[in-house]
Amino acid sequence: MTAHTEPGPAEGPGAAAARLTGHAAASERPLSAALTEVALADGPSVVVKRSDAPGAVRAEEAGLRWLADSGTVRVPAVRGHDQRWLVTDRVPPGRPSGRAAARFGRELAGLHACGAPAFGAPPPGGTEDAYIGLASLRNVPGDDWPRWYAEHRVLPYLRHAVDDGTVRSAEAVVIERACERLPEIAGPAEPPARLHGDLWHGNVLWGADGHAWLIDPAAHGGHRETDLAMLHLFGCPHLDDVLDGYQQTAPLADGWRERVGVHQLFPLLVHTVLFGRGYAEQAVAAARGALTR
């Protein structure tokens, strides 16, 4: 990684990539409002991400490094970063396949098995105040998963959604009851796993090398079923193959399918806060499902 220099006024992604990598930018191609692909004049193409949220780049860089240090899953190498910009290698795109998905499942099981110091533990060098997408995420350590999950993953977003009027008071009671029952319905106790933390299909890139690559982590110590529940929630190509590969490597505890909705409460409420009422209804339905178990 190249040493940082000071950014210029109104710096763009090409200039940021050049400053942070030491290679001149040859061309730019916008990918989204926050992402730009930059071809370097004498190096590989990179993806440049901008974030103005305090600490967001530091949290993401630490998460990528923590996942890479596991030696299990593939993540793009970080080529440079500062408080606003993150520069990573571009992953040449490929197509998902059952074989790649099964390999990804095995690699994900390996990542989870690397563990974490506690539930809610941030990556080394990361921050307590982090982000999941555009929503704030507090990494507060705990040693009891049901209590930690309720206090630091479900209830903060529920309170936010109630205050905004997105979740009605009667609906909030249903979710609160599900949280109260977590010690009964969470399944056997498991040690903290090393989570990607925001594992929807958009953060899984299928590379031309036949591997799945992970981007945009909200990495922390958590329950391994939470990552898998996120894949279920928003869909993932060849999901059955992913699960087969995972189960062959690290079988899940009995009843895990019935617990998927419990683990989806967190991402559903995050999406409720960010995107509104439709996700609130899904969160309430997941809580009701948990209460019928």
Domains of the chain, residue spans: 13-89, 98-291
> What is the rounded CA–CA span in Å between residue 58 and residue 217?
12
Give the pLDDT confidence score for residue 234 in this predicted structure.
Answer: 87
Topology (CATH) of 13-89: Phosphorylase Kinase; domain 1 (3.30.200)
Q: Which letter does DSSP use for residue 123 in this model? A: P
Residue 9 pLDDT greater than 80, yes or no: no
Which residues 6+ apart lie within 8 Å of 10 measured at CB? none
Split at pLDDT 50, 70, 90, the class of 78 is: very high
Topology (CATH) of 98-291: Aminoglycoside 3'-phosphotransferase; Chain: A, domain 2 (3.90.1200)
Question: Between the CA of residue 201 and those of 45, 47, 53, 54, 257, what are the distances in Å?
Answer: 23, 18, 24, 26, 19
Mind telling me the catalytic residues? Answer: 198
> What is the rounded CA–CA span in Å between residue 128 and residue 34?
23
Tell me: the pLDDT tens digits for 108-134?
999 999 999 999 999 999 999 999 999
Give the pLDDT confidence score for residue 100 in this predicted structure.
Answer: 97
Tell me: the pLDDT tens digits for 144-176?
999 999 999 999 999 999 999 999 999 999 999
Question: Between the CA of residue 100 and those of 214, 230, 257, 270, what are the distances in Å?
Answer: 13, 19, 23, 29
Give the pLDDT confidence score for residue 293 in this predicted structure.
Answer: 76
Residue 197 pLDDT greater than 60, yes or no: yes
